[in-house]
């Protein structure tokens, strides 16, 4: 099998950590001897073992006392450069050096300054053959959230909304009215399990009284973020229940009451998108879904602070309503979700 084949398998394994490893990257590892996979592993949860030690352990669990000699003749494939520093776990590069792995094939380098190139250097200095850049673009795309946080000092920002066939986003009167069907809603709940946080504004919180949980898909709930300058959202609303942590950006107070955190900001009418993006970076929130309303979405669009937009288009039309935001990005994919069409746009200006 080719190097690309095994790196693809690393990516499949890495994806199993989606929603559990942030703010770490998702990483998969495969160890091969004589064209046979002798161990697989991935980074399963933040603070726990990385992909490499999980894979080495799998080899020892399977082959016992034979494992040490096998590793010395084996090739390790890993989707991201093995770490070279002590964090919550020991350096993975040191583990490969300890077991005298014969060769290491790497998808892409780690952009984190404590690692970038240092893991590769450790391996090479130990006499290990190293090959890098295999399926580099695919590996980078998998960890686009991690790369954005490290390189741009902000979270990966996903805009999400639904619009009618004739381009309306919400009712003029402020009443709640569903645009998309049940399948689109279920998919949106799956997305919530995959990202760190979800953001709405005060008006959406009051009008729709959303729960912002992933109740229709197995997995964790995202952190709920609400922009409420003057603390006008009633405490009886769903966002204050105990289903998930809630953060309220406001101009009045900084406080923590149970699972609700209040973060005071100054002059929220100026550069709000930039202020929120930087605050989330400081809090190690690596990705966020912004669900609106139109005012919040347009602030991030006009500031060019977005990476991906996921737009559901209904087959139904309304007589009147609030016009949808206008997206200016590259269409990456279109797929039919029940009676609705999902269009995914990528903002290549930030890449």
Lookup result for tokens 């391996």: 123
Is residue 215 a known part of a binding site?
yes
Number of helices (H) and strands (E) in the chain: give both, helices first.
11, 17
Beta-strand (E) ranges in the chain? 28-33, 36-42, 75-80, 103-108, 129-131, 156-163, 168-170, 197-201, 223-227, 246-250, 255-257, 260-264, 287-290, 308-313, 322-323, 330-337, 340-346
Q: Determine if residue 212 is labeled as part of a ligand binding site.
A: yes
| Axis-axis angle for helices 294-302, 272-282 (nearest 10) | 90
Judge whether 50 is annotated as a binding position: yes
Q: Is 192 annotated as a binding residue?
A: yes
In whole angstroms, what is the distance from residue 149 CA to residue 112 CA? 10
Question: 178: annotated binding-site residue?
Answer: yes
Any binding-site annotation on 29?
no
Around Cβ 76, how many Cβ atoms within 10 Å?
Answer: 30
Residue whose entry in the numeric block shows the structure tokens 């799998």: 58
Question: Which residues, listed in sequence order, are joined to residue 145 by a DSSP beta bridge?
Answer: none
186 is in an annotated binding site: no
Catalytic residue among 40, 52, 163, 195: 52
For residues 75 and 2, what is the distance between their CA atoms, to the nearest angstrom?
A: 12
Q: Is 216 annotated as catalytic?
A: no
Q: Is 208 one of the annotated binding-site residues? A: yes
Determine if residue 204 is labeled as part of a ligand binding site. yes
Residues flagged as binding site for substrate:
192, 212, 215, 291
Residues flagged as binding site for NADP(+):
162, 178, 204, 208
Residues flagged as binding site:
50, 83, 92, 162, 178, 192, 204, 208, 212, 215, 291
Task: Give the catalytic positions in this structure.
Answer: 52
Residues flagged as binding site for Zn(2+):
50, 83, 92
């Amino acid at each position: 099998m080719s190097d690309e084949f095994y790196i693809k398998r690393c990516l499949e394994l890495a994806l199993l950590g989606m929603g559990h490893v942030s703010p770490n990257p998702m990483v998969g590892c495969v160890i091969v001897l004589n064209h046979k996979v002798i161990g697989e592993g991935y980074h399963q949860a933040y603070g726990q073992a990385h992909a490499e030690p999980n894979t080495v352990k799998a080899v020892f669990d399977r082959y016992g006392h034979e494992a040490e000699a096998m590793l010395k003749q084996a090739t390790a494939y890993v989707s991201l450069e093995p770490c070279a520093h002590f964090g919550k776990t020991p350096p993975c590069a040191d583990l490969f050096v300890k077991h005298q792995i014969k060769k290491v094939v790497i998808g892409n380098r780690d952009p984190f300054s404590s690692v970038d190139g240092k893991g590769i250097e450790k391996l090479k200095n130990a006499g290990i053959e190293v090959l890098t850049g295999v399926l580099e673009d695919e590996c980078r795309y998998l960890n686009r959230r991690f790369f954005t946080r490290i390189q741009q000092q902000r979270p990966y920002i996903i805009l999400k909304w639904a619009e009618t066939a004739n381009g309306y986003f919400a009712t003029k009167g402020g009443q709640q009215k569903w645009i998309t069907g049940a399948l689109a809603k279920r998919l949106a709940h799956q997305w919530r399990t995959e990202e760190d946080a979800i953001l709405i504004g005060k008006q959406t919180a009051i009008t729709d009284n959303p729960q912002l949980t992933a109740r229709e898909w197995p997995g964790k709930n995202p952190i709920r973020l609400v922009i409420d300058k003057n603390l006008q959202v009633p405490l009886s609303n769903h966002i204050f229940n105990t289903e998930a942590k809630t953060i309220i950006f406001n101009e009045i107070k900084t406080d923590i009451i149970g699972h609700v955190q209040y973060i005071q900001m100054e002059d929220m009418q100026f550069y709000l998108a930039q202020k929120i993006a930087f605050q989330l970076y400081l809090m190690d929130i690596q990705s966020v879904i912004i669900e609106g309303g139109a005012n919040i979405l347009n602030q991030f669009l006009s500031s060019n602070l977005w990476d991906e937009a996921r737009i559901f288009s209904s087959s139904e039309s309304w007589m009147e309503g609030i016009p949808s935001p206008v997206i200016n990005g590259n269409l990456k994919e279109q797929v039919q979700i029940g009676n609705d069409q999902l269009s995914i746009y990528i903002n290549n200006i930030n890449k």
